[in-house]
Amino acid sequence: MMGIDIGTQSTRVALLDLAGRVVASASTPQEMMTPKPGWAEQDPEVWWYNALENMHKVMEQAEAAPSEVVAVGVCGQMHATVPLGKDGALLSHGVQLWCDKRSARLVDEFKAGSHVEEAMRLAGNPPVATWLGFNIKWLRVHDPDLYEKTWKFVLSKDYVNYRLTGEIATDWSEASGSFLMDAKTKTWSPELAGYLELDIDKLPQVRASSDVLGSITVEAAQLTGLAEGTPVVVGAGDMLCMLLSSGLTEPGRASDITGTASIMAVYVEEPVLDARLMNLHHALPGWIPFGITDSGGGALKWFKDKFCKAEVAEAERSGKDVYDILNPMAAEVEAGSEGLLFFPYLMGERSLGTPLARGVFFGLTPRIGTGAMVRAIMEGVTFELRRTLEIVEGAGNAVHEVYTIGGGARSDLWSQIKADIYHKPVYTFEASEGGILGSAILAGVGAGFYPDVRAGAEQCLRVDKEFQPDPSMTARYDYLYGLYEEVHDRMQEPFDKLARMP
């Protein structure tokens, strides 16, 4: 099975066997453009060309014949707003990404309207400056010519699927993250489209994630090296594919995904209607209430890139991963990082605070060094995710265990910090393949190799390590967590004032 993951920091392609083991893998880094504060863009053509390059690489690595690839599944960063013309041509080379906050003022205006409560009930979500619908609304207001020229607005994985098959559709996971889908009927809502003053005909068809969308076209076969006619499934958003590959298939389980963004998600049967939470339809039947910080693991990468040049140089000289140098430095610092708190809002907040928030180190002293700051970032991201976990459990959804994946799961220190702050056992996997494994599982279902999505996921899951909470950490982390919440709440008005700086 071939899995393709259109991420923010990279596009990755892998070949996986039916047990979910990677046979060959290739990845290409890519940059996010931030032309203005709160804006985040990428060029969809870069995703496509990076995917093509890596498809050839994995086929060469595996020495695979085109006929050996039985199905293709694509996942991608969610909410990316890709406009296509009537001829299928890409109309923008700087599309809004999941962490783009330019529609924040439009969301505030919407929240002040009389229909907001009914809209939230229909969508099963609060209005936030991330959803596809508000991204499209921003284009209608600020770039009406582009809006009018657009035939269909598609998402990142849908664009790659279109280039592979010539077919256009999205899935329930992406549609549920639009503020345009009726959460009960799982179809586009004329009422919600009306509230946002959008043309519902500009939205693609919605299908199940494991449905076969189409097959590799003659042109795509020539470009990719795959066999013409190879089935391609509809796929799902990267978050849901990550959750699928991290065991989030049963009630009582939660998933902590620490990638560029960091996410706390719980599996439930129906959306949890709480204005502080967001809900997405899973890649299998069921819903995922979740909270997200848009610069979770990305905050650690930012710190590494900007302030750890000596450690980066040492890693290059020694052939090590730079995080294998930073992790021991952080482990030497006691829990609580000497009273240093980090608020990971480099890209604002979605629903638990203002989208105009910014990152903050609170409690700096001359004693603080690189290790304490790295540990504070790990703890701050985990405190942020604990807020979501408490809200979901408070709504009557007990959570007994947390599975963690993403780049952060490679750090045993961070996994233990999570167990201590969540007060729950935390599990990692033998191979944290994330979204690319989930996309391959969906491909396997579409090709008939698994009876359903849940069965495919269970067949591919292999737990590696277990981290039990340390009771001696409870008092300190609970105290700091309470302080974290207090400082967070006091910063909201100053954040908004800062954004109005003349």
Condensed to tens digits (0 to 9), the pLDDT of residues 98-146 reads 999 999 999 999 999 999 999 999 999 999 998 999 999 999 999 999 9
Give the pLDDT of residue 360: 98
395-412 pLDDT, tens digit per residue, is 999 999 999 988 899 999
The whole-number average pLDDT for the span 72-96 is 97
273 Rama class: left (phi>0) / alpha (psi -120 to 50) / beta: beta
Domains of the chain listed by start with CATH number: 2-246+434-463 (3.30.420.40), 297-423+470-499 (3.30.420.40)
> What whole-number percentage of the chain has pLDDT above 70?
100
pLDDT exceeds cutoff 90 at 446: yes
CB-side exposure of 41: number of CA atoms within 13 Å? 15
Mean pLDDT of the chain: 95
What confidence tier does 213 reach under pLDDT thresholds 50, 70, 90?
A: very high
What confidence tier does 37 reach under pLDDT thresholds 50, 70, 90?
A: confident
The rounded distance, in Å, linking the Cα atoms of 14 and 58 is 6
Q: Report which of residues 451 and 247 the model is more confident about.
A: 451
What confidence tier does 432 reach under pLDDT thresholds 50, 70, 90?
A: low
pLDDT exceeds cutoff 80 at 434: no
322-355 pLDDT, tens digit per residue, is 999 999 999 999 999 999 999 999 999 987 899 8
Helix %, strand %, coil % for the chain, to 5?
45, 20, 35
What confidence tier does 422 reach under pLDDT thresholds 50, 70, 90?
A: very high
What confidence tier does 266 reach under pLDDT thresholds 50, 70, 90?
A: very high
Which residue in the block uniquely carries the two structure tokens 């529609």? 103
Q: Which secondary-structure segment (H or E) carries 289?
A: strand 287-293
354-390 pLDDT, tens digit per residue, is 989 999 999 999 999 999 999 999 999 999 999 999 9
Give the pLDDT of residue 77: 96
The rounded distance, in Å, linking the Cα atoms of 32 and 38 is 12
Give the pLDDT of residue 275: 84
435 Rama class: left (phi>0) / alpha (psi -120 to 50) / beta: alpha
User: Which ranges of 112-155 does DSSP label H, i.e. alpha helix?
Assistant: 116-123, 132-142, 144-149
141-199 pLDDT, tens digit per residue, is 999 999 999 999 999 999 999 999 999 999 999 999 999 999 999 999 999 999 999 99
Residue 227 token pair: 């066999």
Q: Which long-range contacts (CB under 8 A, 24 or more apart) does 270-277 make?
A: 271/124, 271/125, 271/183, 272/392, 272/395, 272/397, 273/120, 273/121, 273/124, 274/391, 274/395, 275/120, 275/126, 275/351, 276/126, 276/351, 276/352, 276/391, 277/126, 277/351, 277/388, 277/391, 277/392
Contact predicate 99/57, CB 8 Å: no
267-305 pLDDT, tens digit per residue, is 988 899 888 888 999 999 999 999 889 899 999 999 999
Length of the chain in terms of residues written: 502
